[in-house]
Amino acid sequence: MKSAVIVFPASNCDRDAQTALKQLTGKDPHMVWHQDSALPDVDLVVLPGGFSYGDYLRCGAMASQSSVMKAVKAHAEKGGAVVGICNGFQVLTETHMLPGALMRNADLKFVCRPVKLTVEETQSAFTRKYSKGQQISIPVAHGEGNYFADEETLNRLEGENRVAFRYAQGDNPNGSARNIAGILNEKRNVLGLMPHPERVVDPLLGGEDGKALFQSLIETLS
């Protein structure tokens, strides 16, 4: 599987994604600067976490206007896989590649801790190595992770089995509607999630519950 990580000004999880991808694929991902207008020939594009453009205006709003995002959209439209993690999820909603919006956490505080997730959907390139209903622990680190969408959109996401991950009962760190932690697009080749799977791919990092996401992609895209 060939991959690329997009680097925005003030990204701070791009190196985490790079390390996880290299460890699991055996190949260095391409590190693509946000001002580039084209992507290399890759199977997967990662929009990493961090604070792109200092989170001015709205989280992900300025990054969504970067030159490289036209190429990312084209990659997804051709069926290529895209995963947006934390700030990357915010960018995906700002570009309308995924529905809804990420707002300030309900308690208006930054949260940084492991959270329990339930795997809701395994019929995707991102989740096939998990089991439906499996409980996993993945860290979060955000101040604007409160997923919001209107009732019609939420019902459509539920009805089309596009909620990939949900915060376990009693462990919603941000007030997200229906405990949603991650969603898929209609074609199921774009995933956005607030938790950081790239931070838990090795026991030395405190866990391996994020490993199956990348293994799912490797199995599907290689």
Active site annotation includes 86 = yes
DSSP 122-134: -SSTTTTTS-TT-
Q: Which two tokens stand for residue 151?
A: 């009732």
Q: Which two tokens stand for residue 56?
A: 């001015």
Active site annotation includes 96 = no
Q: Which two tokens stand for residue 197?
A: 């799977």
Annotated catalytic residue: which of 34, 75, 142, 196?
196
Annotated catalytic residue: which of 86, 94, 120, 121?
86
Burial group, residue 209, by CB count within 10 angstroms (0-12, 13-18, 19+): buried
Annotated catalytic residue: which of 94, 120, 121, 198?
198
Active site annotation includes 198 = yes
Per the rule left: phi > 0, alpha: psi between -120 and 50, beta: everything else, 166 is: beta
Using an 8 Å Cβ cutoff, are 183 and 163 in contact? yes
> Which residues fall within 8 angstroms of residue 27, CB to CB, at 6 or more apart?
1, 2, 3, 21
Residue at token pair 């089991």:
131
Q: Which residues are identified as catalytic?
A: 86, 196, 198
